Amino acid sequence: MNWRLAVREVADELRSAGLDNAPQEARWLVEHVGGATIAELADEPVPERLAARLAGLIERRITGEPLQYVMGEWSFRGHDVMLDRRVLIPRPETEIVAEVALEEAARLGLVRRRTATSTSGRVPVADLGTGSGVLAIALLCELPEAEVWATDRSAAAIAVARANIAAQGVVASRARIAEGSWFDALPRELQGRLRLIVSNPPYLAEHELTEIDDEVAGWEPVEALVAGPTGLEALAAIVDESRRWLDAPGTLVCELAPHQGEVLARRARDAGYDEVVVRADLTGRSRILVARRGAPSVRGS
């Protein structure tokens, strides 16, 4: 069997198992095992050991394990990260959160660029509940002035984030990784100094866990999905405490569920934020809380 034929056969197996995106998933799996694109692998025969590895991955996928866990890696804004069941799978809406956070950083005067290698900047920002570390990585790689504090209460998630951040190279020298719940993980001397706080916290209510896809509820860490009885517990804690941790100017950016936007916007205003907006995702649904303290910097990005 050659690699081109392997893609077709894998797609047929996945399709027979009822997977909707079988052709694309087949290509990803084959390229993952082959270590190159299908165009590069072409009509070369599949080595026996790689065929066996591919068969194992197919079996895992057919049993319902998410593709990202099966592959053990994924790309977030062009940055490859390791993934397993210790952390949530990054989703497209979280990429929008990253973009909004970077826009806010530029508005606040931080230099933004795609290939950031400088280690001279020390403007403190924080990613609370970092999980796999993808938001922290986006900040590190695109904000060369930022010192990024990545926190999580899960020691298992911290281990994944630490490995993913270290894999980014020289920018990792500007990362500070701390275990703890929300602001408890941060040193007190950061109070009133953070320029930007970003978070993708759990925001499902307990009863909603039974309403989501089995591929999510059955595989991803429940503690990173469910906040509590109402789903607002984590977001409320972050909104209520964040303002006193922010510099002026400074901004809080949080991912939320579409139905939570209005209540959390009110809560942010009650907490004393000067300007509050709720941004939409690519489908037009309310998805990102942006709460600003103080006037923006006049410095350009």
pLDDT digits (tens, 9 = 90+) for 197-243: 999 999 999 999 988 988 899 999 999 999 999 999 999 999 999 99
Residues 268 and 287 sit within 8 Å (Cβ to Cβ): no
Rounded Cα–Cα distance for residues 278 and 287 (Å): 7
Handedness of CA 203, 92, 138, 155 (dihedral sign): positive
For 281-297, write each residue's pLDDT tens digit: 989 999 999 999 996 64
Handedness of CA 240, 241, 246, 251 (dihedral sign): negative
Q: Classify residue 70: in a domain, yes or no.
A: no
Range of the domain at 33: 3-63
Provide the token pair at 272.
């004393």
Domain containing residue 101: CATH number: 3.40.50.150
Using alpha carbons only, what angle is made at residue 224 by residues 221 and 228, rounded to the nearest 5 degrees? 115
Residue with tokens 């929008």: 96
In this structure, the answer to whether residues 56 and 163 fall within a common structural domain is no
Rounded Cα–Cα distance for residues 193 and 147 (Å): 12
- For residue 249, cis peptide bond before it (omega within 30 degrees of 0): yes
In this structure, the answer to whether residues 172 and 280 fall within a common structural domain is yes
- Cite the DSSP H helix spans in 132-247: 134-142, 155-166, 214-217, 233-242
Q: Classify residue 52: in a domain, yes or no.
A: yes
For 158-197, write each residue's pLDDT tens digit: 999 999 999 999 999 999 999 999 999 999 999 999 999 9
Q: What value does the mean pLDDT take over residues 67-84?
A: 96
Query: CA 273 → CA 76, 127, 234, distances in Å?
Result: 30, 19, 18
> DSSP letters of 24-70?
HHHHHHHHHHHTS-HHHHTTPBPPHHHHHHHHHHHHHHHTT--HHHH
On the CB side of 135, CA atoms within 13 Å amount to 34
Q: What percent of the chain has pLDDT over 70?
A: 95
Residue with tokens 């602001």: 183
Q: Classify residue 203: in a domain, yes or no.
A: yes
In this structure, the answer to whether residues 229 and 272 fall within a common structural domain is yes
For 10-51, write each residue's pLDDT tens digit: 999 999 999 989 999 999 999 999 999 999 998 899 999 999
Q: Classify residue 299: in a domain, yes or no.
A: no
pLDDT at 298: 43
Per-residue confidence band for 299, with pLDDT thresholds at 50, 70 and 90: very low
Q: Classify residue 133: in a domain, yes or no.
A: yes
Provide the token pair at 92.
């497209």
Domain count within the chain: 2
Q: Classify residue 177: in a domain, yes or no.
A: yes
Provide the token pair at 120.
């001279």
In this structure, the answer to whether residues 27 and 152 fall within a common structural domain is no
In this structure, the answer to whether residues 269 and 239 fall within a common structural domain is yes
Question: Residues 207, 213, 215, 219: what is their CA dihedral angle, to the nearest 10 degrees?
Answer: -10
Rounded Cα–Cα distance for residues 119 and 206 (Å): 42
Integer distance in angstroms from the first to the last C-alpha of the chain? Answer: 53
Per-residue confidence band for 276, with pLDDT thresholds at 50, 70 and 90: very high
Handedness of CA 58, 61, 63, 69 (dihedral sign): positive
pTM, to two decimals:
0.92
